[in-house]
């Protein structure tokens, strides 16, 4: 029983901490990258798509190895925590950039045109027209990213970060009592992600109702 | 350097085999799962929903560890080795995730299309095959590309349970050469060489957005940010 207490009290905070910091990093980097993809300059758009593709395509496990063993071998000190957070944050930024870019497009070119025709500057357009809509459009993908990150933290076990999977496996190795540990792990992850999935669903239905109501006349 | 390549290529072969097998099986399972998710029968919906929620929520590394360390000895009795366990884990995880995305697409089809098909005397599966699924081919494409990329990235996890694929070969090479930065960078490039062409092909297959697109908007539809 104390094994499960250890799982919850020691490993769970690590898992949640890694996902939270990586989520913050991914959101900040990805938002910047995504907005770059909306530039009027073609080369900037193409570069953004290439960089996003690059980041999305790199296996997270390899990104962690690259940072933890690769960079560290050349004199930069990285803890397993930093390496994991960096690797996950940067790879997820690629996804988030595409979500932001897609979200702005969902908000629609017409909104930009309408704002310009009202004489708003680009800054005002973003602040007063686009961002408020973007926030509701990006709530559910943002929560989804958090779910994804929570699950991805499991690969930090490979560099010895004492998160859920790593702790679980060290318990297994000591006790040879495999099945209960696996079940406990699965249940812990389910408890972490299922509330988030419900939040996503709630956000989605709310957002869906609002946008369909707002945009219906456009298509009639 | 030439030795490196030869050794990594051996691993790449296993990775590709893993990816192709998992991709085929994943989509073969994801499409019916998505259809079951919107079944008129409550029991079918509930069953497929439970499957999806469970396997979507368990991280792939945990699923792998559970299958290999937890049930491995029992499954070995059935003649399953580590390679097959990885395929099973990826397929369970990814098909649940992709099915949920496809379910969203199926729901986006206006009810009128179903009614029109029914009024022509089609059965449900005929309506699906002849009317509904063909029109979803294009919107499904970016999601399918995403799914493929997740599978490629997931295959790297096979190294944890010592399937001799690309990442495991990279690890062995790293131990032999003590040059982690070069080895992992090279392997990163190999993974990118698999994923980037597929990503661009997907954009291409969606068709002439760059040509048709407006000044501001010039790219693929929203790709949801969900992990595999």
- Please calculate the CA angle B146-B96-A18 and round it to the nearest 5 degrees: 70
Span A202-211, average pLDDT:
65
* Yes or no, beta carbons of B226 and A147 under 8 Å apart: yes
Q: Which of A28-42, A127-141, B10-24, B207-221 has the highest mean pLDDT?
A: B10-24
Q: How many residues does chain B have?
A: 228
Split into its structural domains, chain B has a count of 1
For the segment B176-188, what is each residue's pLDDT rounded down to a tens digit? 888 889 899 999 9
CB B96 within 8 A of CB B51: yes
CB B190 within 8 A of CB B28: no
> Which CATH number belongs to the domain containing residue B155 in this structure?
1.10.3720.10
Residue B224 lies in a domain: no
* Yes or no, beta carbons of A165 and B59 under 8 Å apart: yes
Name every chain A residue with its beta carbon within 8 A of the beta carbon of B178: 73
Complex prediction ipTM = 0.78
Euclidean distance between CA atoms B52 and B54, whole angstroms = 6
pLDDT confidence band for A118 (50 / 70 / 90): very high
Q: How far is B123 from chain A (nearest CA, A)?
A: 30
User: Picking from A21-35, A64-78, B164-178, which range would have the lowest pLDDT averaged per residue?
Assistant: A64-78
Residue B141 lies in a domain: yes
Name every chain B residue with its beta carbon within 8 A of the beta carbon of A98: 220, 222-223, 225
Q: Which strand (E) or helix (H) includes residue A101?
A: helix A80-107
Residue B227 lies in a domain: no
The domain locations on chain A are: 1-213
Residue B222: its pLDDT value, please? 42
pLDDT below 70 — which residues of chain B? 1-2, 206-228
Picking from A54, A66, A145, the nearest residue to B225 by CB comes out as A145
Picking from A70, A102, A179, the nearest residue to B223 by CB comes out as A102
* Yes or no, beta carbons of B191 and A58 under 8 Å apart: yes
Q: Which domain holds residue B212?
A: 2-216
| pLDDT reading at A146 higher than 50 | yes
Euclidean distance between CA atoms B102 and B107, whole angstroms = 9
Residue A81: its pLDDT value, please? 94
Q: Minimal Cα distance from A167: which residue of B? A: B62
Closest CA to A59 of A18, A90, A101, A15: A90
CB B170 within 8 A of CB B187: yes
Q: How far is B149 from chain A (nearest CA, A)?
A: 6
Residue A80: how many other CB atoms lie within 10 Å = 21
Write out the CATH class of domain A1-213: mainly alpha
Cα distances (Å, whole numbers) of residue A149 to A22, A90, A109, B148, B190: 7, 11, 31, 18, 24
Residue B81 lies in a domain: yes
* Yes or no, beta carbons of B170 and A65 under 8 Å apart: yes
pLDDT confidence band for A184 (50 / 70 / 90): confident
Residue B50: its pLDDT value, please? 93
Name every chain B residue with its beta carbon within 8 A of the beta carbon of A70: 180-181, 184-185
For the segment A49-59, what is each residue's pLDDT rounded down to a tens digit? 899 999 989 99
Residue B225 lies in a domain: no
pLDDT confidence band for A104 (50 / 70 / 90): confident
For the segment A76-100, what is each residue's pLDDT rounded down to a tens digit? 888 999 999 999 999 999 999 988 8
Residue B221 lies in a domain: no
Interface test with A, best of B8, B55, B59, B60 (most A CBs within 10 A): B59
Residue B3: its pLDDT value, please? 78
Residue B26 lies in a domain: yes
Name every chain B residue with its beta carbon within 8 A of the beta carbon of A102: 219-223
């Amino acid at each position: 029983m104390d094994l499960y207490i250890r799982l919850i009290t020691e490993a769970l905070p690590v898992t949640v901490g890694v996902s939270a910091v990586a989520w913050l990093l991914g959101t900040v980097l990805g938002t910047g990258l995504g907005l770059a993809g909306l530039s009027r300059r073609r080369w900037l758009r193409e570069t953004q798509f290439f960089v996003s593709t690059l980041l999305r395509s790199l296996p997270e496990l390899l990104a962690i190895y690259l940072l933890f063993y690769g960079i560290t071998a050349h004199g930069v000190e990285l803890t397993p925590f930093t390496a994991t957070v960096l690797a996950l944050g940067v790879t997820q930024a690629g996804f988030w950039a595409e979500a932001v870019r897609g979200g702005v497009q969902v908000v629609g070119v017409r909104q930009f045109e309408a704002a310009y025709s009202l004489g708003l500057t680009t800054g005002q357009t973003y602040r007063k027209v686009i961002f408020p809509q973007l926030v509701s459009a990006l709530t559910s993908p943002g929560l989804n990213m958090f779910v994804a990150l929570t699950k991805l933290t499991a690969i930090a076990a490979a560099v010895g970060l004492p998160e859920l999977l790593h702790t679980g496996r060290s318990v297994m190795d000591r006790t040879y009592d495999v099945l209960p540990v696996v079940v406990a792990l699965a249940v812990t992850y389910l408890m972490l992600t299922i509330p988030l999935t419900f939040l996503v669903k709630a956000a989605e239905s709310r957002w869906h109702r609002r946008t369909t109501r707002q945009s219906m006349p456009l298509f009639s | 350097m030439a030795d490196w390549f030869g050794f990594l290529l051996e691993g790449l072969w296993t990775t590709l085999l893993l990816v192709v097998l998992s991709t085929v099986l994943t989509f073969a399972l994801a499409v019916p799962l998505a259809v079951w998710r919107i079944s008129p029968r409550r029991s079918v919906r509930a069953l497929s929903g439970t499957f999806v929620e469970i396997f979507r929520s368990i991280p792939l590394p945990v699923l792998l560890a559970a299958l290999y360390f937890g049930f491995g000895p029992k499954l070995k009795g059935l003649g399953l080795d580590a390679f097959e366990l990885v395929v099973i884990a990826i397929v369970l995880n990814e098909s649940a995730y992709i099915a949920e995305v496809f379910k969203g697409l199926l729901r986006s089809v206006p009810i009128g299309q179903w009614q029109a098909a029914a009024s022509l005397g089609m059965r449900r599966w005929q309506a699906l095959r002849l009317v509904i699924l063909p029109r979803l081919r294009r919107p499904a494409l970016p999601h399918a590309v995403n799914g493929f990329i997740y599978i490629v990235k997931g295959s790297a996890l096979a190294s944890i349970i010592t399937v001799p694929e690309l990442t495991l070969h990279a690890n062995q090479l790293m131990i032999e050469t003590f040059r982690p930065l070069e080895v992992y960078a090279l392997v990163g490039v190999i993974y990118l060489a698999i994923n980037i062409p597929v990503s661009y092909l997907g954009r291409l297959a969606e068709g002439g957005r760059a040509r048709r697109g407006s000044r501001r908007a010039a790219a693929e539809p929203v790709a949801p940010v969900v992990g595999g």
